[in-house]
Structure 1
Amino acid sequence: MPNNFLNCAACAGSGKIGGGKCLSCHGLGMGIYRDKKFLYWNKIITNQELEKKKAEKFLKLFLNGISFVFSVLATLLLLWQIVENSFFGQIFTLSFWISGSPVVTLFLVSLLVDAYLIYRFSEEIAQKAKIEKKEYQDKEGEKKEEVMETLPSDWVSVRDLSSKIKINVADTFTFDAQKAVEDAFFVATKFNHGKILPLHLFIALLFSKKAAIVFGRLGVNLKEMQEKLGRQISSVGELLAEGQESVFSEELIQLFFDGYFEAYNSRREQIDIAELLLVVSRSNPIIQELLYEYEVDLDKLKNVVEWLRISEFLRKRWQKTRTLARLKPGGTMSRAMTAVATPYLDRFSQDYTMMAKYGYFAPCLGREKEIEEIFRIIEGGRQSVILIGNPGIGKSAILEGIAQRMVEEDVPKILQDKRLVNLNIGQLVAGATASEVQKRLLMICDEIARAGNIILCIQDIEGMIGITSGDKESIDLSRVLADELSQGYFFAIASARSGVYGQYIENSSLGAVLQKVTIEEPDTNGAIQILEGKAGAIEYQNKVVFSYDAISKAVILSGRYLHDRYLPEKAIEIMREVAHYAAGKRGVGTIVVGEDVAEVIAQKTKIPVTAVNEVESEKLLRLEEEMHKRVIGQEEAIKMIAAALRRARAEIREAKRPIANFLFLGPTGVGKTETAKTVSEVYFGDERNMIRLDMSEYQDQASIYRLIGAPAGNSAGLLTEAVRKNPFTLVLLDEIEKSHPDILNVFLQVMDDGRLTDNLGRTVDFTNVILIATSNAGSPAIQDGIKQGLTIEAVKEQLINTELKPYFRPEFLNRFDGIVVYRPLTSPEIEQIAGLMLAKIGKQLENKRGIVLEVTGEAVRELAAAGFDPAFGARPLRRVIQEKVEDGLTNLILTKKIERRDKVILEVGGNFRIEKGRVL
């Protein structure tokens, strides 16, 4: 318990002794002083109290029902009398109502009854305590009401506190929350526990409709969870003494206080199921462990609770908007009718506060810090503000959110009773010369200054810079606006894109009068909450239901794999696509799950992000075997690459670097490039699905621009554009030792950070790339070391310490996940390679011409011996096979000595024996 938590020893925290108020604590029982408030819990829950409450509720419903029936009957009786006696003309006369007719008298009495019922209902609503709204920080120098700061240490000091700061938390509970607390009492009683614990409350909360919605979104089987909790709770808590009833534990009362501050910080009016779910889950390790079994952590729970709050807010706003819409006038109405009219401004603008009032804007979520920073700047020095951020990041949503808060008067005093009016630059400059546009702007500024209640909003303010007309007349409107703002008659909130701000605005006169507020991409939880606010409309349009996992993956996967756009916009677009995809795949009413999002992302990026199925799992486990069908020997390289691919697919790797960075060293013809081709074929689908760069073409410093694009050009670089279009690929850098040192620096960044910026300022993602560099550097040392009987590890160490230093810096070599030394091929390995090459020729011959090629073992050995060269590895073998096998087969085909269904047998000496096939 906190040091400032008080529990009255005299009444054991109940607030009562012998049916009367406890004199020691003045009936407060338990309390805590926190954030300039003294909270206490003063609500007795016993079987007797609950029975009494139940009886009162029944009596109230009974009386309400009787009153309603009486009013309806009296009204119907009056209508019958009017129709029966044709009193239509008399009902508008005073004599009719004072005639003393029993029916009329009965109707008038019913009106009194109705008035009493309405009064009683309104009183019940008014008496329901609301949590005061969290105030924004007032500007410096403005003093607030003094509140006692000394922590009360006993009940005597509590008595001296102002009644304004004493809050009975029980009064701020909603009906649903009160019922959950009462149900917790019944749960504790059922298990014969003396104290009502947080675990009892959690079980009670699970029976509420709102908790069912929360855990339904999380995909949790609620019935199964309740059963598990039932087994857990049987061994928790002290048994109830005979003749006693369960009472609230200190731990639970403390949770009620935590719930109050959860609601206060969330700017909620009352404590509801959502707040209780959060605080009880945070406090109890048993509950947390149970939630972890369902893969639900506190962040997930908080986000779904926020989703519940958003849904309630949207429902209430829809009801409010529907009511306002009935009262909305047919024409336009300006709030300036209550102040100074602004007809010229209205012509070129939209009143955001009026649009917010009638529900045109979606709720602004996850941007509380940015909005409060804007309020502090405006309030602190009455300065104008400019929001700087990338497109799609939410600048417009923040402006709409400010308008919504202005409507609700949930803003600092300086913004209360103000209009937020958005100036449309396109309309302002349309059909006018530059001088006419200037005149329009000055008239608008004059109207704003005279009105005194307008905050000017200008989105994409860079559109005001350098306005030019058809007759080449030009004017910089930004200077005109800067001059007007500098006079301090009014202030503005503007927005601009990041790159444009630094280039055109920051060092201009406009930049001097606008205080910059940088808007970053929301974090994961913030983006999830923004998507939750958009989910309802998308669900309605596509007739689907989103699970939390789907929304979470839309944020995480779009952030990880889609780099051309920004959160939250790109995740919202993915949500729309996934909703349409799931509805088309499984029909309307389906639940959109995380795997649906993964499938859409995989289709867009060609990156495998879906769950690993059995077929792919088998393929991953047999990668070495598949690769050895093309690559002979070189076990170390094959094992390294296969392990890296498995780690990447299982997402057990550093996500901010490429999948793997390898350097293959060895003489020519030993299989370095063939290994890369094999990886591309086995894992990426085709050996052509790679980006291959011959680094001998990048020997001068200027060739760097071929990779990333020329600084002044509009065309993208070869490497950056290829990876941007296909981010899941293999990049092969052949003979990297021949490239310029500055080129190596480029790849140093790629291997370290997993990204590269092109000439157009776009950041290209390399985190889903396998980067393989090959080099012949140190080949003589490798061959000499193998001849001397050195191990591969000893040869590698010698290469790194001596032979590679003239080519690569140590920091460059350290960026590779693996440096693999390819040893020279042996004669048996050359024979195996010859067999693979001949098998490939035979497959092509059979597929295209229906002719079977068979090669004897002696012929394979003869070809291998002829094509073996220790200096060039397997490269001469390809030429030998072309000359002795492919050329011979070509002659046989052209002279029509072999036809479909024939078998050709290659024997020693390059002789071809033909076995004719059957004639059809």
Structure 2
Amino acid sequence: MRRARVLSGCAVLLAGGIAFLSHPRFATSLGRNGSTGVPRSAFHPAEASVEGIESAGPVMAAAAAFLFSAVLSQGWSRKSSLPSAQLTGIAAQAAPCARYERALVPRSAMLFEKFSEKTIKAVMLAQAEAQKIKQDHVGTETLVVGLLAEGSGGAQALQTLGVHLNEARRELETMVGHGMGGKSQEIPFTTSAKQVLEDSVRCAHERDMAQVSTCHLLRAVLLQENSNGCKLLGKVLATESLQVLREKILAALARVESTEAGNKVPMSGTARTVADEVDLTQTLKYGTDLTQAAREGRLDPLVGRHEELQRTIRILGRRTKNNPVLIGEAGVGKTSIALGLAQLIAEGKVPLNLQVVQLDLALLLAGTRYRGDFEERLRAVVKEVSESQRRVILVVDEVHTLVGAGSGGDTGGGMDAANLLKPALARGELQCIGATTLDEYRKYIERDPALERRFQPVMVPEPSEAESVLILQGLAPKYERHHQLHYTNEALDAAVKLANQFIADRYLPDKAIDVMDEAGSKVRQQLYQAAEDSQNAAERWAAGRELKEVLAQKQSAVNAERYDEAAQLKRRQDELEERLEGLQQSHSTDDLLKELQGLGAQIREAVVAERFVEAQELKTREKEVAELLEKKGITSEAARRQVTAEDVAQVVAGWTGIAVEQVGASESARLLHLEKELHQSIIGQDEAVCSVSRALRRARAGLRNPSRPMAGFMFCGPTGVGKTELCKTLSKTFFGKEESMIRLDMSEFMEKHTVSKLIGAPPGYVGYNDGGSLTEAVRRRPYSLVLFDEVEKAHPDIFNVLLQLLDDGRLTDSKGRVVSFANTLVVMTSNIGSRSVQKSASGGSGLGFGMAEDEEEDKYSKVKELVHEEMKSFFRPEFLNRLDEVIVFRPLREDDVRAIAEVEFKKVLNRLADKDLHITLTQGFKEQVLKEGFDPAYGARPLRRAITRLLEDTLAEQLLEQSAEGEGKHLSVTLGVTEEGKVKAEVTQIKDVEPEAKESPVLEDAAAGV
């Protein structure tokens, strides 16, 4: 300690001497030569710069006096061109300056010996702040800014009250302004600032402290009643009462000082470093100080999770086994709890002495090429944390990565991080907050009992939708500042609801936050991408350039007295000016956006001032600007910088591949008329269409169990009656596109071992890494229709898997991943009972042929009973009970087949719409197709074959003949039937067909022909 005081004293003297020698007035008296060896003619003892020494301040004067005494005593004058007598004169003239304020000089020299390194740094930063604004003194207000710039102790207390460095700097500039001071080496202190420095020593002595901390310096500032330092703090905190100001800051100081372990060091004996002087160089080299980040406002707020956070704090306050590990699925907010703890500590709301540092294992491992490098780094971190007077909590995200980290992998030879930390965790020298998933915890932590018992698990469940909405509302201001937009409440609600409904492989609130973030980015991109039309800009540039040339030519013609030419150029000038005026009226997008935003404020101002006529005119202009922006692709909501529920729906649609209409509010209205859409493609199956539509409406209305699939159907009936066609139509109508159907042919699952194809092969078998054909498809397309075609052909063990799917709405694949079927529609088709249906439909008295409607319904009811009996004899009861409905399809009647033929004709003709053919189908041709294509036993499948043979083959020949004769010929083809029942085609050429009308007549004639 004595040696340190001697060294610090020498440093002060040396600094003062340098400052003295470099002082401008002293340099002036020495002829501005910068060295002591000036010519004798340039030095005048009578003009020795006593005034310059006095202006340098008492500390500088004392340092200069001691420096010159040292020069004389060491005989350094022999190396200079000045005689010793003259140097003695300088020292003699410097001595009165040292006695000028002799009461202050010794105290100033002793003050800084009692200051801690942090406090000295704060004083030096205060001088730097004064230099920035060119002030020639350091006052109490500048000391406050220096405290905040240093950042520990007293600064922490101010930051908990909302006093931040940038705000204090602005207030300092407002208070004292920019001066005219120069760049001197040392700026003197005002009398009030000197008093603060002395009072800080007294504050430390009263608290039995060996060194003056930044907290003591802040207390000393508060002792000066009318100082500028108190005024600055009062303005920043918006507090006029000095008493209220003192109470707030002293309370914050008490909280900071109460959390400093061992900060009351006796004045005598060896004093240990106070808590705010703890050096965590190695720890912060491989980590991030979350507590400091919270003080600076760089962390997102924690909303909710009160129980989990309090449980974490209770575990940290335990005497032993005080290491919590947060366990939950990815995205539920485990890391946010640790960040929330750091915020509570920064605000002084936690009765624990903690500093939270997030450790980055990747940084610890980076560059450790040789054995022992990693262990050395980690031991250095543990040593720093254990020796720290403040309790440092290490946050390790993905804590399971400690197991095996740094061990060298297969080469071995090194200890991993978990084994290195076990002794410190057991002795209580190190505290750690871990975060991991339940699967990783079981796989890595639980299998090591010694490591497991050192952690206390804290389960973090997924929040509900209501809790997630509150979380988004708490985070929205940060995202609004980032995107410079406003989120409506409807947008936040939609982000949670749609993310939870359509994004099944992730968890709340993470997926909802991502949706909200991307929706803001989308609207912001929409605003800034819509730029002014480049063609308009090019035209304006060309017209302006031509106008400039015309003006020059006109002036030349006038000067040369060519008045006829000048008159022509004048007319051309008028034309160009009129054209430019028209082009400039087309505002750019940026101008329109700025105008629209300004119009809103003007309208409100006019309404408040009761200028209603003006307000009406402004609203008319606002509507015009909005229409112009909509033509440029910018909605009125986006123009007002708002993120709406529609923007959120578009983002979700982009993520999942679902049409926007499926996730928007318009879906409800469409579901009310779902039967009408299905009937356009499904003929003769009214009961099946109505049953499916009712089930989908129940699912969308929220009346179903949210964990189960939307519905589970069994379609039974003979082949060719529309079972698979209904599935295709449903996937296109309800799920947005036909590709949304996942089809599994159950004839491929007839063997027992094929069960693994659905959910994936077990470990050790071929195909383990490929996943299951069912689970992988649903995991990638969670919003889809799953069709198990001809399910009765599958092995009986397959139905055990389907039991869980239909009841719980989820399956676990071979890798342990849970796949949700909550957004799927499960349909199974079966031919069980088809013989009973065909038998009832065959013969003159069969179902649907020459039978009254009531009699037909009775017959159909009996057929349904027969089918159900056959299904009960084939399937187990627990399987049938999990189905929502078993739908028996009717056999097709002749009228049904005729209607199906009309639909198929339209499909073929629509595919030929871009060809140069006008097609007409005669009634005889249609009857011939129906005659060859109708078979009650096989349904509509023979009809398709007949259409292919009679219609498509004939048209293909005509198209090839047309292509061989060359383009440019437009043909009209009429298909009929000869007396022998053969198809004949009458072809005529159409002349003078307008090019733009080539496609329309094909569709019109085709429709008319059908």
TM-score range relative to shorter protein: 0.5 to 0.7
**1:677-696 to 2 correspondences below 5 Å:** 677-696=728-747
More deviation, 341-350/544-553: 341-350
The reply on whether 1:672 has 2:792 as its aligned counterpart is no
Q: Are the aligned partners of 1:557 and 1:601 in contact in 2 as well (CA < 8 Å)?
A: yes
Q: Are the aligned partners of 2:504 and 2:782 in contact in 1 as well (CA < 8 Å)?
A: no
The reply on whether 1:537 has 2:512 as its aligned counterpart is no
Q: Are the aligned partners of 2:468 and 2:509 in contact in 1 as well (CA < 8 Å)?
A: yes
**1 CA distance for matches of 2:790 and 2:294?**
62
Report what 1:885 is aligned to.
Answer: 951
**1 CA distance for matches of 2:647 and 2:759?**
35
**1 CA distance for matches of 2:453 and 2:667?**
59
**2 CA distance for matches of 1:819 and 1:918?**
54
CA-CA distance at 1:504 after TM superposition: 0.8
The reply on whether 1:499 has 2:439 as its aligned counterpart is yes
Q: Are the aligned partners of 1:481 and 1:510 in contact in 2 as well (CA < 8 Å)?
A: no
What stretches of structure 2 of length at least 5 have no aligned partner?
1-174, 180-187, 193-224, 256-271, 527-633, 848-855, 993-1010
Query: Quick one: which amino acid aligns to residue 770 of structure 1?
Result: L
**1 CA distance for matches of 2:674 and 2:282?**
72
Query: Quick one: which amino acid aligns to residue 905 of structure 1?
Result: L
User: Structure 1 residues 483, 785: CA separation in 2 closer, same or farther (over 3 Å shift)?
Assistant: farther
**1 CA distance for matches of 2:878 and 2:948?**
43
Higher share of residues assigned helix: 2
Q: What is the DSSP-based 3-state SS (H/G/I as helix, E as strand, rest coil) of the residue aligned with 2:921? A: strand
User: Structure 1 residues 335, 811: CA separation in 2 closer, same or farther (over 3 Å shift)?
Assistant: farther
User: Structure 1 residues 910, 438: CA separation in 2 closer, same or farther (over 3 Å shift)?
Assistant: same
The reply on whether 1:570 has 2:511 as its aligned counterpart is yes
The reply on whether 1:461 has 2:529 as its aligned counterpart is no
Report what 1:582 is aligned to.
Answer: 523
Report what 1:55 is aligned to.
Answer: none
Q: Are the aligned partners of 1:845 and 1:852 in contact in 2 as well (CA < 8 Å)?
A: no
CA-CA distance at 1:336 after TM superposition: 6.7
CA-CA distance at 1:851 after TM superposition: 3.4
Report what 1:912 is aligned to.
Answer: 984
The reply on whether 1:644 has 2:644 as its aligned counterpart is no
| Post-superposition CA distance 1:54-95 (Å, at most 9, x none) | xxxxxxxxxxxxxxxxxxxxx99xx9xxxxxxxxx9x989xx
The reply on whether 1:552 has 2:493 as its aligned counterpart is yes
Report what 1:797 is aligned to.
Answer: 865
User: Structure 1 residues 827, 719: CA separation in 2 closer, same or farther (over 3 Å shift)?
Assistant: same
Query: Quick one: which amino acid aligns to residue 355 of structure 2?
Result: R
Report what 2:372 is aligned to.
Answer: 435
User: Structure 1 residues 758, 482: CA separation in 2 closer, same or farther (over 3 Å shift)?
Assistant: same
| Post-superposition CA distance 1:793-848 (Å, at most 9, x none) | 33333332x31134322222222222111122223323333333333333334444
Query: Quick one: which amino acid aligns to residue 889 of structure 2?
Result: Y
Q: What is the DSSP-based 3-state SS (H/G/I as helix, E as strand, rest coil) of the residue aligned with 1:780? A: helix
**1:842-853 to 2 correspondences below 5 Å:** 842-853=909-920
| Post-superposition CA distance 1:475-514 (Å, at most 9, x none) | 2221221232122334322222332111011121211211
Report what 1:634 is aligned to.
Answer: 685
The reply on whether 1:122 has 2:242 as its aligned counterpart is yes
Q: Are the aligned partners of 1:579 and 1:592 in contact in 2 as well (CA < 8 Å)?
A: yes
Query: Quick one: which amino acid aligns to residue 972 of structure 2?
Result: D
Report what 2:647 is aligned to.
Answer: 596
Query: Quick one: which amino acid aligns to residue 379 of structure 1?
Result: G
User: Structure 1 residues 367, 115: CA separation in 2 closer, same or farther (over 3 Å shift)?
Assistant: closer
Query: Quick one: which amino acid aligns to residue 505 of structure 1?
Result: I
Match of 2:358 among 417, 422, 445: 422
CA-CA distance at 1:664 after TM superposition: 0.8
Q: Are the aligned partners of 1:542 and 1:588 in contact in 2 as well (CA < 8 Å)?
A: no
> How large is the Cα RMSD of the aligned pairs?
3.9
| Post-superposition CA distance 1:231-264 (Å, at most 9, x none) | xxxxxxxxxxxxxxxxxxxxxxxxxxxxxxxxxx
Report what 1:875 is aligned to.
Answer: 941
**2 CA distance for matches of 1:689 and 1:348?**
48
Q: Are the aligned partners of 2:971 and 2:988 in contact in 1 as well (CA < 8 Å)?
A: yes
Report what 1:754 is aligned to.
Answer: 809
| Post-superposition CA distance 1:410-460 (Å, at most 9, x none) | 224xx23x3223332222222223433223333433333333532331222
Q: Are the aligned partners of 1:666 and 1:823 in contact in 2 as well (CA < 8 Å)?
A: yes
Report what 2:415 is aligned to.
Answer: 475
Q: Are the aligned partners of 1:350 and 1:422 in contact in 2 as well (CA < 8 Å)?
A: yes
Q: What is the DSSP-based 3-state SS (H/G/I as helix, E as strand, rest coil) of the residue aligned with 1:805? A: helix
Report what 2:128 is aligned to.
Answer: none
More deviation, 535-544/826-835: 826-835
Report what 2:47 is aligned to.
Answer: none
CA-CA distance at 1:747 after TM superposition: 2.8
CA-CA distance at 1:779 after TM superposition: 1.3
Report what 1:739 is aligned to.
Answer: 794
Q: TM-score, normalised by structure 2?
A: 0.55
**2 CA distance for matches of 1:918 and 1:485?**
93
More deviation, 759-768/565-574: 759-768
**1 CA distance for matches of 2:229 and 2:752?**
90
The reply on whether 1:866 has 2:921 as its aligned counterpart is no
CA-CA distance at 1:646 after TM superposition: 4.1
CA-CA distance at 1:738 after TM superposition: 0.7
User: Structure 1 residues 462, 793: CA separation in 2 closer, same or farther (over 3 Å shift)?
Assistant: same
Q: Are the aligned partners of 1:595 and 1:610 in contact in 2 as well (CA < 8 Å)?
A: no
**2 CA distance for matches of 1:904 and 1:681?**
33
**2 CA distance for matches of 1:614 and 1:850?**
42
CA-CA distance at 1:576 after TM superposition: 1.4
User: Structure 1 residues 489, 825: CA separation in 2 closer, same or farther (over 3 Å shift)?
Assistant: same
Q: What is the DSSP-based 3-state SS (H/G/I as helix, E as strand, rest coil) of the residue aligned with 2:715? A: strand
Report what 1:345 is aligned to.
Answer: 283
Q: What is the DSSP-based 3-state SS (H/G/I as helix, E as strand, rest coil) of the residue aligned with 2:990? A: coil
Query: Quick one: which amino acid aligns to residue 340 of structure 2?
Result: G
Report what 1:354 is aligned to.
Answer: 292
Query: Quick one: which amino acid aligns to residue 121 of structure 1?
Result: S
CA-CA distance at 1:373 after TM superposition: 0.8
Match of 1:717 among 764, 767, 772: 772
Q: Are the aligned partners of 2:230 and 2:242 in contact in 1 as well (CA < 8 Å)?
A: no
Query: Quick one: which amino acid aligns to residue 878 of structure 1?
Result: R
Report what 1:775 is aligned to.
Answer: 830
Q: What is the DSSP-based 3-state SS (H/G/I as helix, E as strand, rest coil) of the residue aligned with 2:874? A: coil
CA-CA distance at 1:893 after TM superposition: 4.1
Aligned residues: 614
**2 CA distance for matches of 1:125 and 1:111?**
12
Q: Are the aligned partners of 2:812 and 2:819 in contact in 1 as well (CA < 8 Å)?
A: yes
User: Structure 1 residues 113, 541: CA separation in 2 closer, same or farther (over 3 Å shift)?
Assistant: closer
Query: Quick one: which amino acid aligns to residue 908 of structure 2?
Result: I
User: Structure 1 residues 494, 803: CA separation in 2 closer, same or farther (over 3 Å shift)?
Assistant: same
User: Structure 1 residues 652, 360: CA separation in 2 closer, same or farther (over 3 Å shift)?
Assistant: same
Q: Are the aligned partners of 2:708 and 2:821 in contact in 1 as well (CA < 8 Å)?
A: yes
Q: What is the DSSP-based 3-state SS (H/G/I as helix, E as strand, rest coil) of the residue aligned with 1:567? A: coil
The reply on whether 1:389 has 2:328 as its aligned counterpart is yes
CA-CA distance at 1:539 after TM superposition: 0.9
Report what 2:576 is aligned to.
Answer: none
Q: Are the aligned partners of 1:356 and 1:403 in contact in 2 as well (CA < 8 Å)?
A: yes
**1 CA distance for matches of 2:379 and 2:226?**
59
The reply on whether 1:659 has 2:600 as its aligned counterpart is no
Percent identity between the two aligned chains? 36
| Post-superposition CA distance 1:33-69 (Å, at most 9, x none) | xxxxxxxxxxxxxxxxxxxxxxxxxxxxxxxxxxxxx
**2 CA distance for matches of 1:675 and 1:888?**
29
**2 CA distance for matches of 1:903 and 1:512?**
86
Q: What is the DSSP-based 3-state SS (H/G/I as helix, E as strand, rest coil) of the residue aligned with 2:241? A: helix
Q: Are the aligned partners of 1:663 and 1:819 in contact in 2 as well (CA < 8 Å)?
A: yes
Structure having the higher Rg:
2
User: Structure 1 residues 809, 517: CA separation in 2 closer, same or farther (over 3 Å shift)?
Assistant: same
Report what 2:108 is aligned to.
Answer: none
User: Structure 1 residues 620, 500: CA separation in 2 closer, same or farther (over 3 Å shift)?
Assistant: closer
**1 CA distance for matches of 2:337 and 2:665?**
46
